[in-house]
Amino acid sequence: MHERAGSPAQPEDLIDVDRLVSAYYDRVPDPEDPAQQVVFGTSGHRGSSLDGAFNEAHIVATTAAIVEYRREQGTDGPLYIGRDTHALSEPAWRTAVEVLAAAEVELRVDARDSYTPTPAVSHAILRANGAGTSGGVRTSGPGRADGIVVTPSHNPPRDGGFKYNPPHGGPAGSDATRWIADRANQILRDGWQRVPRLAVEKALGVATTRRNDYLAAYVEDLPDVLDLDAVRSAGVRIGADPLGGAAVEYWAAIGERYGLDLTVVNPEVDPRWSFMTLDWDGKIRMDCSSPSAMASLRDIMAPAGGGPAPYDIATGNDADADRHGIVTPDGGLMNPNHFLAVAIDYLFTHRPDWPGGAAIGKTLVSSALIDRVATSLSRRLLEVPVGFKHFVPGLLDGSVGFGGEESAGASYLRNDGTVWTTDKDGIILALLASEILAVTGSSPSELHGRLVERHGTSAYARIDAPATPHQKAKLGALQPDDVAATTLAGHEITGRLVEAPGNGAPIGGLKVTTEQAWFAARPSGTEDVYKIYAESFQGEEHLAQVQAEAKQVVDDALGA
């Protein structure tokens, strides 16, 4: 933990926006340097222009590769494109629009020339493909829509990000991202300058480029997935902090459209994020699940001198609004796992029209409390690797009612049991906290307390540490035989997993389980760090023992 974690950012912490954007256009990456190639992690290609990892060349090449890929797949409908508030997002969006327009792609840009959250793009794709209609979603055949979101999500201000969502509306799978990255890197080597482009002013004026009101379409559909009448009737006081991200205009529109007692806590947009408090490592990072990054909102909910909190529920979102953070007066910032468990327990008892066989989806690094809640609900548990793409098929056909990640990303079905989004939706999860309070009369924190009374109290933690690409590759190649021990923190090991039990997909790391605890080790797909997740149902001291033994496994694997 950095000594200034949770403290306000200072001038020396802020990026030079002009320098960052200039590097986007001026720096030409070396296509033979792996650190400067197009690489898709768990959610798109990310990097900084200052490192030669996110530059004009990358976006030209990647967009051209997406044009080729969608043609090969027979995707000839509109492509919905949105961007968040990172400094590199607008120039990358402009570059992509230039390439897409020159390729005569039916392009849909934001009607307000503004920011577009990831869930609004997913919602638009699925709506265009039939979601919310009696015909259901079409993911094959002519006229299918797809999309691009220009965002590095919660990453620091110096980073840019670029991700592709196929016609199913969710993050592209490995087959697609591998093809796109390989082709993009080939274009980098062969001469990205030869890719046809239209100047952005012309690109926005051609017949194939049209305006789409993402905000209105998304906001108007919210009653299909939430009981906002209950929220309004109960008078729940909501404080919504977009953390300077793409949801800023959406929150104001939601409050006005549905007559909610909703305050946008901080409407400021600043690509430097000068108003943020520093994250655990001393960096500015818009991670709404981090107590350090959410320190300002936590302070608002716990006024100095012990006065009453100004809101019944306060929420945060990351820059593209695909994550949620929940703050309650009685519990502070909720651990993401705690809220996921509460949300699951509530939804599966308050959505009578959901399919009886709809499963509960979780990543294998999420809390085992969710497993116990699933058992109590007599619902099938679908445990998958990290990456929301693994929930897409189930959310699309209704066989998964809820899919959630420990990093505070989730989505769930419409009230009628059909698909809402197949990408993470931090806005509906944040609003769900208010619905839960309005309907049950108890805060999500209080409901979590009741869950642990029934199912046991767990201690859960994640450790992040720096790792080189080489070290990350070694960690991702761990095998069951790499764990010679037969016990973990005094308990017999019951499983050594390198594939997820829910779908058999590779974990990209290792999970070791006992009846009372588990740990998982995996490299980050978005940053140069590795992560050790661990949980114990025998208290903090036992968790520390689990973490120590897990760290030894990782050290041995990395040769530390």
H runs (alpha helix) in 152-237: 174-190, 200-203, 214-221, 228-234
Outline where DSSP puts E strands in 122-185: 146-150, 159-165
Host H or E run for residue 41? strand 40-41
Assigned token pair, 57: 């060349």
Other beta carbons less than 10 A from residue 457's beta carbon: 13
Query: CA angle 477-483-489, nearest 5°?
Result: 130
Enumerate long-range contacts of 380-386, CB under 8 Å, 24 or more apart.
381/502, 382/502, 382/503, 383/500, 383/501, 383/502, 384/500, 384/502, 384/503, 384/505, 385/500, 385/505, 385/506, 385/507, 385/508, 386/42, 386/507, 386/508, 386/522, 386/525
CA within 13 Å, CB half, 309:
20
Which one from 43, 48, 49, 153 is the annotated catalytic residue? Answer: 153
Listed residue (161, 28, 43) closest to 92, CA to CA: 161
Assigned token pair, 476: 């991702």
Active site residue 7: no
Residue corresponding to tokens 């025998």: 538
Host H or E run for residue 302? none
CB contact burial 3-39 (16+ within 10 A = b; e otherwise): eebbeebeeebbbeeeebbebbeebebebeeeebbbb
Q: Which residues contact 395 (CB under 8 A, 6 or more apart)?
A: 170, 361, 403, 411, 412, 413, 419, 420, 421, 422
* Residues designated as active site: 153
